Amino acid sequence: MRETRLFRSVLAIGAIGLAAAACSDGNGATPEEAVVGPEAGPSMAAAPAGRGGPALPGLLRGYKRIVDLTQTLDENTPVIGLPAPFANSPGYSREEISFFDARGPEWAWYAIHLGEHTGTHMDVPCHWLSGRFGDCIDDIPAEELVGPAIVIDVRDKVANDDDYLVTVEDARAWERRHGRIPAGAWVILQTGWSSRYNDPAAYLNGGHSPGPSKELSEFLAYERDVRGIGVETVGTDAGMAGTFDPAFPNHNIMLGAGKYGLTSLTNVDQLPAKGALLIAAPVKLRDGTGAPVRVLAFVP
């Protein structure tokens, strides 16, 4: 995979350009929603600095708000549970190294322990058999960590069915309203499931939680060439997907196609259906199959 890295970087730059074109050409979207910023020109340079610091320069100018889509990692962070005989991943824990005491009178710090796939995290191709020889976390070019996001709202369907599988028709309904899903987009499935996050039993729900249908994963990977899907649930497949054929179809299809996944997102209800720009930057673990990720959305 290392030999192909430079080549993939070149492709990624091309993909960002294509995504920008897809956002602004022929599908009803306007230039204001282009990937490189909702307002062309230097207008943001004159905007007042917020409490968080100076106005956003260059690439990010024109976006008005930043939404943090990341859950806080702590000892209560829900972790996916696999049935026997499969091995399970530990949750998050930490121990004090010192806390302003004899072990370190002027400093506090901790050692942390967690599985790669804990809390809000990114899945990458080498996580799955179908993508085994593809990219790991440290192979992902920086350009691939920034891209447009679209949001498909299926909360009404999930309200009546914990096991709801988001369909190709749901995606096509989104496209009828908003235009073609651009290549290179993060496709966020808005299920409302993050409202359960602080109650791990309700969040894991005995293995019953929504996810993409196999057909949706195929459609998005092969016909729309998206960057990956993002979900509010503990994993990018439905809770019962271990019983599907193939098992865990979204992992199988997306990671096999060189795509990624984002899990345990929150604040999705603060995003527009389209027009947000996501920065999803995972901790750069060598040969990581996934990693905790900070996901920030820049919203017009």
Residues forming the site for Mn ion (CB under 5 A):
117, 123, 290
In this structure, what token pair is assigned to residue 233?
């649930």
State the DSSP H helix or E strand holding residue 101, giving kind and residue range, or none if neither: strand 93-101
Cβ closest to Mn ion, residue 165 vs residue 262: 262
Cβ closest to Mn ion, residue 116 vs residue 170: 116
Contact 261, 226 (CB under 8 A): no
Cβ closest to Mn ion, residue 24 vs residue 209: 209
CB of 82 to Mn ion, least distance (A): 12
CB of 48 to Mn ion, least distance (A): 40
Cβ closest to Mn ion, residue 8 vs residue 117: 117
CB of 121 to Mn ion, least distance (A): 6
Can you name the residues that pair with 109 across neighbouring β-strands? 98
Burial of 46 (C-beta count, 10 Å sphere; 0-12/13-18/19+): exposed
Please, what is the end-to-end C-alpha distance for the chain in angstroms? 36
* Side-chain half-sphere exposure of 122, counting CA atoms within 13 A: 27
CB of 221 to Mn ion, least distance (A): 17
Active site residue 178: no
Q: Is 176 left (phi over 0), alpha (psi -120 to 50) or beta?
A: alpha
Q: How many residues are recorded in the chain?
A: 300
> 113, 117, 121, 127: which one is catalytic?
127
State the Cα–Cα distance between residues 291 and 278, nearest whole angstrom. 17
Q: Which residue is nearest to Mn ion (CB)?
A: 117
Please identify every residue annotated as catalytic: 127
